[in-house]
Amino acid sequence: MKKANKTLQKECIQPLLEWYRADARDLPWRRISDPYAIWVSEIMLQQTQVATVIPYWERWMKELPTISALASAPVDHILKLWEGLGYYRRVRLMQKAAIFIQKENGGTFPDQDEAILALPGIGPYTAGAITSIAFDRPNPILDGNVIRVLTRYYGIKENPKGADCLSRLWELSHTWVDQADKLKPRASHNCSHLNQSMMELGARICLPNQHAKCEKCPIKSNCEARKKKIVET
């Protein structure tokens, strides 16, 4: 197992980290490690393109820069800030969570995994994103982009929505971020950057269907889908 992990680090984790650090998009929420700001970005990015989210996020952070500000804001105001993003249940749950944090934790975003996962509107993916990006913890993430990267890299043909396959993908995601955490130096935001590199790869390079830009992929040499010429999902 140790040999396999060393191979994974050399052939996959390190190239991904190097690629991300050299070529990642300069997104405003990537310039900070505030868990509140990252939480807002992750909720906005659900079902919404990055280019659309950027001005909404910047306006939101200017108007409601803290959890306390969100907790005390009039509902009409937060709905107006959200107008155009759709799926309004997301923003209502955000304020519900902010009110809870304000009451139970003095407006400070919790730093314990279990407490974050228990907040309204936060599921395993969002919790993993917040804790890995803000706190650099080796917690896995799994969204559509990451699923596509993992299924192609390992040549997985099963339906990723199936329970068994989904469980395997969570395990693989955890293995990748765990191996990133073991790289030295450990104070290099490896967990944060690894998870973001998988999302970045799926969003820009490992695109759906026949649109994948395999020639630009930093881990193409060991991608099973590319080897078998089955980059089609």
Cite the active site residues. Answer: 42
The DSSP result for 191-230, as a single string, is: HHHHHHHHHHHHHHTS-SGGG--GGG-TTGGG-HHHHTT-
Nearest one of 79, 1, 20 to 217, comparing CA atoms: 20
> Would you tell me how many other CB atoms lie within 10 Å of the CB of residue 155?
13
In angstroms, rounded to a whole number, what is the distance separating the alpha carbons of residues 142 and 153? 14
Phi, psi of 95 (to 5 degrees): -70, -35
